[in-house]
Amino acid sequence: MSFITSIGTANPAARFPQSTIADFMVRAMQLNDPEARKLRALFRATGIDFRHSVIEDYGRQKDFDFYANTKTLEPFPSTHKRLALFRAHALQLSEKATHDALSRLPDFSMDSITHVIVVSCTGMYAPGLDIDLVKALRLRSNVQRLCINFMGCYAAFNALKLAHSFCEADIHAKVLVVCTEFCSLHFQKDNSEDNLLANALFADGSAAVLIEAQPRAGINLKPESFYCDLALSGEKDMAWTVGDLGFEMRLSSYVPGIIKKGIHELTASLLSQIQTEFSEISYFAIHPGGKKILEAMEEALGLSKKQNEYAYHVLRNFGNMSSPTVLFVLDELRKHLRPEDHDKKILSVAFGPGLTLESMILSIHHHA
């Protein structure tokens, strides 16, 4: 057995209204009036009010720090420059999320952490963020470390699966999972559908989760079952590659439809593992990849917007931060749980390149 005993979140200090980011994009992408109207309409349709970024330039019209102070932003930042900024800021934000999680457990000792799993698809280096966290948090030097890189928005599920396995193997396991993403580092200014969608949705954030083999007093989330599948028809509709000028995303408007088509089989397979009916699910934690994805999920599963409210809250206030995002949703849901929710079930789902569909059932465990 394993239990999610605490979740913490953090974001860069720079927080921008969606309209402010749209203004930056119109100038940076050098759009004409019809193109600018299209971009602003797309930004308004996302359901996002605010996003955070490690780059303060997105709130400026001039005097940039990261981008070149030219009309075209040329020379455009290299991948090397972008990853250097990731390295400069990833540890601080990861620490902040970790302290947010562990400060909720006043009797917790850092020496008790047995495993650290670090997740990111927007930056990497070696020796990496995992080792930097060991030093910064003053963990034992022999703590077991793993990194999950370049898997995209669903990667937190793979980290939770690993943590679950460690806890099942060792009753003393205490696994720290940290997902940190700076999606805004990889802004691309070419006027393409992929770039317009990515520039409208993605943001920066970090989430930390403690998974233990034993529950703690209060509300715990207990993973019951995981299920993963591939919708190979969407392999070319969502992708993430390394370019010379940052990481490049392929994100087509067909993704919500592909997810909608595959979600029924995914959910049925997941529930069959624990002999549970869909009607027994009380709460939902859906990765808010975008407003259209949430609407496709609601239509496919017969959910109301109220049932999906935690995903909308995260989308509205933070945008899509890739791997930490579903953990933000779980954290928001967890804040509203009460002792009387004991034994109720949560369905959580996320998506990413492949097109990968990840799902998980958690039960709510109130420990006196």
Report how far Cα 317 is from the mean position of its chain's Cα atoms: 13
Amino acid at 135: K
Instruction: Given the residues 121, 147, 153, 183, select the one marked as catalytic.
Output: 153
Query: How far does the chain reach from its first CA to its final CA, in angstroms?
Result: 18
Place of tokens 């913490």: 8
Question: How far is residue 211's CA from residue 95's CA, in Å, rounded to a whole number?
Answer: 17
Q: 100-131: string of b/e by CB count within 10 Å (b at 16+)?
A: bbbeeeeebeeeebbbbbbbbbbbbeeebbbb
Burial of 64 (0-12, 13-18, 19+ CB in 10 A): middle
Q: How many CB atoms lie within 10 A of CB 278?
A: 13
Question: How far is residue 57's CA from residue 67's CA, in Å, rounded to a whole number?
Answer: 7
Q: Answer for the pair 252, 193: CB distance below 8 angstroms, yes or no.
A: yes
3 state DSSP class of 280: helix
Question: How far is residue 227's CA from residue 137's CA, in Å, rounded to a whole number?
Answer: 33
- Summarize the chain as % helix, strand, coil (round to 5): 40, 25, 30
153 is a catalytic site residue: yes
Question: How far is residue 51's CA from residue 13's CA, in Å, rounded to a whole number?
Answer: 10
Q: Which residues, listed in sequence order, are joined to residue 283 by a DSSP beta bridge?
A: 346
Please work out, in degrees rounded to the nearest 5, the angle formed at the alpha carbon of residue 364 by the alpha carbons of 358 and 368. 150
Question: How far is residue 151's CA from residue 67's CA, in Å, rounded to a whole number?
Answer: 27
Amino acid at 368: A
Catalytic residues: 153
